[in-house]
């Protein structure tokens, strides 16, 4: 397979909780099953459990472009219909950025939030009021 240039069939599942810029855990998380070229998963915790997916790559001139980042796209159909959310996840530095866009609210593609990733699933269920949600 390597001789033919075909990536080996590799898949691993990662689970993260999002921590805000002040170091406080949010009630949001994400679970992704990653291959060499794509990731497929869902939002977890207090997020709407919409599908999430994307690609790995090296983004041009972000804060730290030495690491490979995952660009993961998702939405929140119940809480924020129409919004498109894009996570930029650095699994080496354990950091993330959350970008958003929503035509009906006149929100062009822009950075909403950033912070650190904590390994492990977010245990809080929908409706838990102990932590803030990452999403607007």
Partner 1 sequence: MITKYLLPTAAVMLIWGIAPAYARTVKYTLADDSGSAYCDGLTLTETVTTAVGTHTGSCLDGDYAGGFATKFSGMTDRMWIISTTDMLNGPGCVYIFVLDQKALTWELWEENTSANVTFEMHTSGKLLKGTPPAVVGPSSATASSSSHSN
List residues binding partner 1 (CB under 8 A): 5, 36-40, 48-62, 68, 71, 73-75, 77, 81-82, 84, 86, 88, 99, 101-104, 107-110
- In order of 10, 53, 58, 81, 90, the CA distances from 7 in angstroms are 8, 19, 18, 37, 21
Chain length of the chain: 136
- Whether residue 75 contacts residue 50, with contact meaning beta carbons closer than 8 Å, is answered with yes
Q: How far is the CB of 39 from partner 1 (least distance, A)?
A: 8
Q: Are strands 12-19 and 25-34 parallel, antiparallel or unpaired?
A: antiparallel
| 79's tokens | 């809480």
Q: How far is the CB of 106 from partner 1 (least distance, A)?
A: 9
**Residue with smaller CB distance to partner 1, 7 or 119:** 7
**Residue with smaller CB distance to partner 1, 20 or 50:** 50
**Residue with smaller CB distance to partner 1, 22 or 60:** 60
Q: How far is the CB of 33 from partner 1 (least distance, A)?
A: 10
Q: How far is the CB of 67 from partner 1 (least distance, A)?
A: 13
- Whether residue 116 contacts residue 12, with contact meaning beta carbons closer than 8 Å, is answered with no
């Amino acid at each position: 397979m390597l001789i033919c240039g075909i990536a080996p069939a590799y898949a691993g599942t990662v689970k993260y909780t999002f921590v805000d810029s002040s170091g406080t855990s949010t009630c949001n998380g994400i679970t992704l099953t990653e291959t060499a070229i794509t990731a497929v998963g869902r939002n977890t915790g207090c997020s709407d459990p919409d599908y999430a997916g994307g690609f790995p790559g090296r983004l041009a001139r972000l804060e730290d472009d030495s690491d490979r980042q995952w660009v993961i796209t998702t939405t929140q159909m119940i809480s924020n219909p129409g919004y498109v959310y894009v996570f930029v996840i650095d699994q080496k530095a354990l950091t993330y950025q959350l970008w958003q866009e929503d035509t009906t609210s006149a929100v062009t593609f822009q950075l909403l939030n950033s912070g650190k990733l904590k390994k492990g699933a977010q245990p809080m269920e929908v409706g838990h009021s102990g932590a803030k949600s990452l999403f607007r």
